[in-house]
Structure 1
Amino acid sequence: MSIIGWVVIGLLVLILIYAIAVYNGLVRLRALVREGFSGITVQLRRRADLVPNLVETVQGYATHERSTLDEVIAHRSDAVTAKSVEATAQADNMMSAMLGRLIAVAEAYPDLKADANFRELQDELSVLEGELQSARRYYNATVRDLNTKVQSFPDTVFARAFGFSEEPFYQDDDPALASAPKVSFARPAA
C-alpha cells in the first residue's frame, strides 16, 4: 500500500475517533439536560405537595378568599403534568403568581401570619423556591452547553447526522419581566 493510502486510512481513523468523541459528548450533555429538567420537576412536585397544606392553613383564617384558594388547588399539579419544557415553565410561572396572591391574602390576616404552622409552611415554601431556582439555573446551564456543542462547527455536522438538536431553555416569557419597573420619588416642596 502506498503512503497516500496510509494517509487516507489515517485520516479516516482520525475522523472516526473524532465522530465518536463528539457523539459521546453529545450523549453526555443530553443526559445532563434531562437530569436538569428532572431536578426541576422534582422541586415542582415537592411544591405541589406543599400547596394543599398551605391552602388548608390559610383556609381556616381566610374563608371569604375562596376563589384564590380554589384556583391554587386546581392548578397545583399543572407544572408536574405538563408535557414539554415550555408548558412546564408556563405552568410553573402561573403557580408562582398564584402562590404570591395566596401569601398576599395571608398578609391581611394577622392571626394567620402569627400561626406557627403557617410560618413553618411559608419558610418551607421559601426554601423550596430557592431550590427550584437553582434547578432552573442548572437546567439552563446544561442546555446552553448542549446547544453550543450542537451549533459549533465542526460538531454541528456530526450532531445533525446523529439526530441531536437544540433544547429549549426554561424561561419566563412574561414581557413585564424584561422591562425595568418605573420608580418615582416625589420631590419635596421647595
Structure 2
Amino acid sequence: MGAMELLDVILIAAGAFVVLGLAAGIWFVTAMTGMRRLSATVDERWDALAATLERRRTVAAPLLATAPGPQQQQAAQAFASLDAASQPQSKAEAEAEVQRVLRPLVQAAGSQPLGSDAAEARTALAALDDEAQARRRDYNTGARELNAKGRRYPSSMWASTFGVPREFFEVDQAGAVAEPPRIQF
C-alpha cells in the first residue's frame, strides 16, 4: 500500500468519524429539545389544571353564602389547602376534600328553583367539574408521555433536569363519597 492509499484510508476513516459524531450530536440535541418541549407542555397543562381547580371557589361562592357557619369554615379550610398545594398528589387530596365539603351544598341547591343563584352555581360547578376532568386527563397524558420518554435513551440522560418522573393527578373519589351527604339548612 502506497503512502497515497494510506492517506486516503485515513481521510475516509476520519470523515466517517466526523459524520458519525455529527449524527450522534444531532440525535442527542434532538432528544434534549424534545424533552424540553414536552416538559414545557406538561407544565402548561398543570398550570391550566391548577387554575381550573382554583376557580371553584369563585363559582361556589353563591352556595357558600347560604351555608351555615361550620360548613363555611370547612369550605374555607378546604379551599386554603387547595390554594397551598403545589404538587399533584397534595393538590388531588385537597381537591377531594373540596368536593366532599361542597357535595351537600350542591345537593341542597338541587331543590332550589331554576334561575336562582344556587341553581346557577350548581350548573356552573358541574361545567367546571367537566373542564377539570378534561384538564386532568390532558395533564396525566402529558405526564405519562414525559415519563415514558424519560426512561428511553438518550432522553434518560436529562430526565432529572426536566423533573421526570412526574406525579399523576388522581383524585380519590372513594373517600369523597364514602360518607353520605349531610344537608343542613
TM-score, normalization by structure 2: 0.79
The corresponding residue for 2:99 is: 96
Q: Which runs of 5+ in 2 are unaligned?
A: 1-9, 176-185
**Residue matched to 2:161:** 163
What are the equivalent positions in structure 2 for 1:31-180 lying under 5 Å apart? 31-56=40-65, 58-59=66-67, 65-106=68-109, 110=111, 113-114=112-113, 116-156=116-156, 158-160=157-159, 163-164=161-162, 165-173=164-172, 176=174
Whichever residue aligns with residue 153 of structure 1, its letter is: Y
- Tell me how far apart the structure 2 counterparts of residues 6 and 39 of structure 1 sit (CA, whole Å): 49
Q: Which residue of 1 aligns with 2:181?
A: none
Partner Cα separation in structure 1 for residue 61 and residue 77 of structure 2: 10
- Distance, in Å, in 2 between the alignment partners of 1:6 and 1:75 is 65
CA distance in 1, matches of 2:83, 2:146: 24
> Distance between the aligned counterparts of 2:128 and 2:69, measured in 1?
25
Q: Is the 8 A contact 1:45 1:80 kept in 2?
A: yes
Is the partner of 2:153 in helix, strand or coil? Answer: coil
Question: Counterpart of 2:11?
Answer: 2
- For 1:12-48, what per-residue CA distance to the aligned partner results, in whole angstroms no more than 9, with x for missing partners? 1111000110011001110011001101111112112
Question: Which residue identity does 2:139 align to in structure 1?
Answer: Y
Q: 1:8 offset after TM fit, Å?
A: 1.3
Secondary structure of the residue that 1:32 maps to in structure 2?
A: helix
Structure 1: which 5+ residue stretches go unaligned?
Answer: 60-64, 178-190
SS in 2 for 1:80: helix
Query: With structure 1 as the length reference, what TM-score do the two structures score?
Result: 0.77
Paired amino acid for 1:30: S
Q: Between Structure 1 and Structure 2, how many residues are aligned? A: 164
RMSD of equivalent CA atoms: 2.1
